[in-house]
Amino acid sequence: MKEKIIAFFSDVVREMKKVTWPKWKELQESTWVVIGVTLILSVFVYVIDLIVSSALKRIF
């Protein structure tokens, strides 16, 4: 069991060395995209919630 755990973590270290990490500028741009999409989706869900809520109030 101990050998499997050691092998697992050595595999993790080996795979992490293969990872291509983003540059600082790429990370900033991706962050802004995520924030923008989150805001747009939040507004969309809010509007849909208002529509459904008002429709349900009229029904009940």
pLDDT tens digits along 28-48: 999 999 999 999 999 999 999
Q: What is the mean pLDDT of residues 15-24?
A: 96
Residue spans per domain, the chain = 22-60
pLDDT at 60 exceeding the cut of 90: no
Which residue from 52, 28, 30, 32 is spatially nearest to 40, judged by alpha carbons? 32
Give 23's DSSP letter.
P
Percent above pLDDT 90 for the chain: 98
